[in-house]
Amino acid sequence: MISTILLVLFLGFYVLYSTSKKVTIDPHFRIENIIQQNTKTAKLIGLVFLLITLYLMIQILGVASGTLIFFIALMTIGSIIILLAPLKYITYKNLALFFVLSICIEFLLF
C-alpha cells in the first residue's frame, strides 16, 4: 500500500514539475505534451494527487506521523525528480521497474 501511495506522490509531483515553462519536454512522450498544453488542469490534477497522498498517509499512519512521512517523502521524491528528469533518466520503463521492485519488497517485508 505504501508503494502505491508513493507512486501517486511521484506522479503528482512530476505533473506539477512538468507544468513549468523552464522544463524541456521530450517529443516522444505524449503525456508531457498534453501537460504542457493544459497547465491549469495539470496543476489541479497534480495537487489532487498530492492531497490524496496526504490523506492516505494520515489514514494509515496517523495525523502526526502521516504528515511527517508525507513531507519527508515529498522532499525525497521531489529531489530525485529535479535531479534525474533533466538527464532523461525518468522513463516509464524505469518507473514501472522500480514500482514492481518496491511492491515485491513490500510484500516480502510485511
Average of per-residue pLDDT across 65-89: 94
On average, the pLDDT of the chain sits at: 91
Name the burial class of residue 5, with classes exposed (0-12), middle (13-18) and buried (19+) by CB atoms within 10 angstroms of its CB: buried
Let me know the angle formed at the C-alpha of 31 by 96 and 47, rounded to the nearest 5 degrees.
85
Residue 27's pLDDT is 67
Domain positions in the chain? 2-109
- Name the pTM for this structure: 0.90
CA gap 10, 18 in Å, rounded: 12
Reply yes or no on whether the pLDDT at 18 is more than 80.
Answer: yes
Average of per-residue pLDDT across 61-65: 96
CA gap 30, 101 in Å, rounded: 26
Reply yes or no on whether the pLDDT at 59 is more than 70.
Answer: yes
Reply yes or no on whether the pLDDT at 83 is more than 90.
Answer: yes
* Beta strand ranges found along the chain (DSSP E): none
